[in-house]
Amino acid sequence: MDRKLSPSMMCVDYMSLGKTLETFALQGISFLHMDVMDGRFVPNFALGTDFCRKIRKACTIPLDLHLMVERPEEKLDWFAPQEGEIVSVHWESTNHMQRLLTQIRGYGAKAFVALNPATPFTVLDYLLDVIDGVLVMTVNPGFAGQKLVPSTLRKITDLRAYLDTNGRKDCEIEVDGNVSFENIPKMRDAGANIFVGGTSSVFHSGATLGENIARIKELLQ
Ligand code: DX5
Ligand code: ZN
């Protein structure tokens, strides 16, 4: 499965947003990770509907919508998901996951279930026919700049084996949180194939955006 980079847009420097999007397009970035937060599911606000729509209009890179909101089934339509985009909804945020995933696919978007670090992936047992991927949170959701929760590395390995033995070798695994230069090889070897780059890699202050992306591409070979 090819490996893809999805920069976390809540970590972007808004003063150079246009330049950043140009660089992403030139570098062949696969997705733009949009961290949507409602202040209820997570103790933070980030990236509303207007911002997502404006970014969608401003460039051709598909969105990777990460909905960290209560009752996402009531809010999905606000984002008008497009064909080829990813929509990740948290297991912990809804009582209607099966219907919600079907709704997401109805838009032609890819339906991903997001799992907090403590949530076992066995919750997917009766969803394997309606998911296109799993977003494994490698930090507790809500903020950038946190440290990896160590047990999530084992979770990625176990999840990859679980999906493969259940006939879903095609199901993608996205990792999100402290996807750093040091952690990327561990996450890659554990079986992840979509990497959300934030403050510890894509937007790392120690080098330019282009240099950081080049370094990540090396690690994703
Ligand atoms: C956290 C978000 C992540 C975060 C990543 O709730 O889902 O996408 O912004 O930032 P870093 O890479 O700094 O952990
Ligand atoms: Zn995210």
The per-residue pLDDT for range 122-154, each reduced to its tens digit, is: 999 999 999 999 999 999 999 999 999 999 999
Closest residue CA from atom 4 of ligand 1:
144
Of 10, 36, 66, the residue with max ligand 1 atoms within 8 A of its CB, to mutate for a pocket test, comes to: 10
**Which ligand 1 atom is the nearest neighbour of the CA of 8?**
8
* Catalytically annotated residue among 38, 64, 132, 176: 176
Q: Which residues of the chain have pLDDT under 70?
A: none
Measuring from each residue's beta carbon to the nearest atom of ligand 1, which residues come in under 6 Å? 8, 10-11, 33, 35, 66, 139, 141-146, 176-179, 196, 198-200
Respond yes or no: is residue 176 known to be catalytic.
Answer: yes
pLDDT at 45: 97
pLDDT at position 187: 98
Look at residue 195 in the predicted model and tell me its pLDDT: 98
- pLDDT value of residue 138: 98
Strand order from edge to edge, sheet including 63-68 = 4-5, 194-196, 172-176, 133-137, 110-115, 86-90, 63-68, 32-38, 45-46
Quote the pLDDT of residue 18: 97
Q: Which residues 6+ apart lie within 8 Å of 106 measured at CB?
A: none
Taking the C-alpha atoms of residue 140 and residue 105, their distance in angstroms, rounded to an integer, is 26
Residue 35 known to be catalytic:
yes
Count other C-beta atoms under 10 Å from residue 99's C-beta. Answer: 12
The 10s digit of each residue's pLDDT in 47-61 is 999 999 999 999 999
CB 33 within 8 A of CB 47: no
| Mean pLDDT taken over the chain | 98
Task: Point out the catalytic residue in the list 35, 38, 64, 132.
Answer: 35
Q: Say what the pLDDT of residue 38 is.
A: 98
Res 105: pLDDT = 98
The atom number, within ligand 1, closest to the CA of 137 reads 7
Q: Which ligand is nearest to the Cα of residue 41, counting in written order?
A: 1
Q: Which residues contact 55 (CB under 8 A, 6 or more apart)?
A: 9, 21, 32, 34, 63
- The pLDDT of residue 43: 98
Q: Distance from the CA of 125 to the center of ligand 2, in angstroms?
A: 23
